[in-house]
């Protein structure tokens, strides 16, 4: 969430920035009304609490002296109901403020270009030259149809639309990609490997900004029965559990930056995206990613952002996949992000670049929701950390890119050199 100081002391300016950059209309009147009432009720509640404490102390002293305390006790009783009502009302106001502020998106960094949609994104650079083919290019669905390697029909029988069964050499190539990425980030890029839960609680989803705004895009289940029952959510990305590791924690300065990597299943309901890229593996309900998360001090977070994005680029370069880096504009960024780079890989069948990685600096937006802090050595005080996350990269989309860019006229697929050690030395899938 945004710094409360911005909403209390600079509300009009903050509302104008949100309108201009995010197209978000902040309900200024509601915030002003709630904040005014909060101040009034909080002041009165504190007065009553202080009065209760002083009178309670006086009652104790009077009892110790054997004096009559009936008058003092009657006075405490006289404002007890008002104090209780004030405390209840203060909790109600705070809950309303929390609900209102939880839906406010992050403010973009000054370097983010202004724009309303992806047409406003700015290309930063390209790597590699798309291959020229002397035969009709097949897409990944056609290539995967051989020997039933990529089987959507069976997956639909098992689970429904937008799931896939992988078999044989293609399933092994998919596994090889994940292993290659994880080894690269851990052994060469200095990330600590983590294996995280696929089910998380609502606090974790709120901490990284998935709740309450994006609940329709999540899969959920109920654990337990009756009063003990509680909701658990299938993770849309391992960013959620990795980032929440520092929830309600104070991290010492010498532990930063904390760099973590995880390979996990990811689950997304993709509400509202029906009809878009539903053929094959482009957009599925279940997929795999190697995720990168960094917890950093504010002064170093943008250096870490560049570093993280570069780590994802190295994956594509070692696989020999042409790509471009895009700086997302204000209207195309995610809810929690202050700045985002997308890496888009070349897909021959579509004759265009498609997103394969998204690397974001969320600054202190998630940290404030999670109460994740570091101890600033300059003053010894706990302050919000900066959180960053990025795909390093999406495994299924990397598989699609390898299949299409390394295809042969007969439908066989060359195995990139970087993956051959993970494929038992196999050089071609045929």
Q: Worst-scoring range by mean pLDDT, 31-35, 63-67, 149-153?
A: 63-67
What proportion of the chain, given as a percentage, has pLDDT over 90? 87
Domain end point (choices 42, 76, 103): 103
Q: Per the annotation, does 87 bind a ligand?
A: no
Do 218 and 79 share a domain, yes or no?
no
Structural domain containing residue 47: 27-103
Cα 145 from Cα 151, distance rounded (Å): 7
Q: Per the annotation, does 389 bind a ligand?
A: yes
Do 242 and 369 share a domain, yes or no?
yes
Options 146, 283, 325, 369, the catalytic residue: 283
Q: Say which CATH number the domain at 43 has.
A: 1.10.287.40
Do 361 and 219 share a domain, yes or no?
yes
Do 68 and 129 share a domain, yes or no?
no
Do 73 and 136 share a domain, yes or no?
no
Cα 380 from Cα 386, distance rounded (Å): 17
Helix, strand, or coil here: 402? helix
Domain end point (choices 103, 135, 170): 103
Q: Per the annotation, does 355 bind a ligand?
A: yes
Do 409 and 383 share a domain, yes or no?
yes
Do 152 and 280 share a domain, yes or no?
yes
The answer to whether residue 16 sits within a structural domain is no
Tally Cβ neighbours within 10 Å of residue 42. Answer: 15
Q: Active site includes 420? A: no
Number of domains making up the chain: 2
The answer to whether residue 340 sits within a structural domain is yes
Cα 250 from Cα 239, distance rounded (Å): 19
Do 182 and 72 share a domain, yes or no?
no
The answer to whether residue 19 sits within a structural domain is no
Cα angle vertex 379, ends 376, 383, to 5°? 40
The answer to whether residue 416 sits within a structural domain is yes
Options 169, 264, 358, 360, the catalytic residue: 358
Options 355, 375, 383, 420, the catalytic residue: 355
Global pTM value: 0.92
The answer to whether residue 22 sits within a structural domain is no
The answer to whether residue 59 sits within a structural domain is yes
Do 67 and 154 share a domain, yes or no?
no
What proportion of the chain, given as a percentage, has pLDDT over 70? 98
- Model pLDDT for residues 269-303, shown as the tens digit of each residue: 986 655 557 788 999 999 999 999 999 999 999 99
Q: Active site includes 355? A: yes
Q: Per the annotation, does 268 bind a ligand?
A: yes
Options 22, 268, 325, 373, the catalytic residue: 268
Q: Active site includes 232? A: no
Q: Per the annotation, does 307 bind a ligand?
A: no
- Which residues lie below 8 Å from residue 59, measured CB to CB, with a gap of 6+? 69, 72, 73, 76
- Model pLDDT for residues 63-118, shown as the tens digit of each residue: 888 888 888 888 878 788 888 999 999 999 999 999 999 999 999 999 999 999 99
Cα 78 from Cα 375, distance rounded (Å): 44
Q: 153 - beta bridge partners?
A: none
Q: Per the annotation, does 264 bind a ligand?
A: no
Do 123 and 97 share a domain, yes or no?
no
Do 67 and 31 share a domain, yes or no?
yes
What CA–CA distances, in Å, run from 253 to 132, 165, 371, 383, 385? 50, 45, 16, 11, 10
Helix, strand, or coil here: 138? coil
């Amino acid at each position: 969430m945004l710094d409360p100081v911005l909403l209390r002391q600079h509300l009009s300016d903050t509302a104008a920035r949100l309108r201009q950059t995010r197209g978000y209309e902040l309900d200024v009147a509601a915030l002003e009304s709630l904040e005014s009432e909060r101040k009034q009720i909080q002041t009165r509640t504190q007065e009553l609490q202080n009065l209760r404490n002083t009178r309670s102390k006086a009652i104790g002293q009077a009892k110790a002296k054997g004096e009559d305390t009936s008058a003092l006790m009657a006075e405490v009783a006289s404002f007890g109901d008002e104090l209780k009502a004030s405390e209840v009302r203060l909790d109600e106001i705070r809950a309303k403020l929390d609900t209102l502020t939880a839906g406010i998106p992050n403010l973009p960094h000054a370097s983010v270009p202004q724009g309303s949609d992806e047409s406003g994104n700015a290309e930063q650079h390209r790597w590699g030259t798309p291959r020229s083919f002397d035969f009709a290019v097949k897409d990944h669905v056609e290539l995967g149809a051989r020997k039933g390697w990529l089987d959507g029909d069976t997956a639909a029988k098992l689970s429904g639309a937008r799931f896939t069964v992988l078999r044989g050499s293609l399933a092994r190539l998919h596994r090889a990609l994940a292993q290659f990425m994880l080894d690269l980030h851990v052994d060469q890029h200095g990330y600590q490997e983590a294996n995280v839960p696929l089910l998380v609680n609502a606090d974790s989803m709120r901490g990284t900004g998935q709740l309450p705004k994006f609940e329709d895009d999540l899969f959920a289940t109920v654990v337990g029965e009756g009063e003990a029952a509680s909701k658990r959510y299938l993770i849309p990305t391992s960013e959620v559990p990795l980032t929440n590791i520092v929830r309600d924690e104070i991290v010492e300065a010498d532990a930063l930056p904390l760099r973590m990597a995880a390979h996990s299943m990811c689950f997304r309901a993709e509400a509202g995206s029906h009809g878009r890229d539903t053929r094959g593996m482009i957009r599925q309900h279940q997929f795999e990613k190697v995720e990168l998360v960094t917890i950093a001090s504010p002064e170093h977070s943008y250096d870490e952002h560049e570093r993280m994005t570069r780590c994802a680029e190295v994956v594509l370069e070692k696989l020999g996949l042409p790509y471009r880096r895009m700086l997302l504009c204000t209207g195309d960024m995610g809810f929690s992000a202050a700045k985002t780079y997308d890496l888009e890989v070349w897909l021959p069948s579509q004759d265009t670049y498609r997103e394969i990685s998204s690397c974001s600096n969320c600054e202190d937006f998630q940290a404030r929701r999670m109460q994740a802090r570091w101890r600033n050595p300059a003053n010894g005080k706990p302050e919000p950390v900066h959180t960053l996350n990025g795909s390093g990269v999406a495994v299924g989309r990397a598989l699609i890119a390898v299949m299409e860019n390394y295809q042969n006229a007969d439908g066989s697929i060359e195995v990139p050199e970087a993956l051959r050690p993970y494929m038992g030395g196999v050089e071609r899938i045929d």
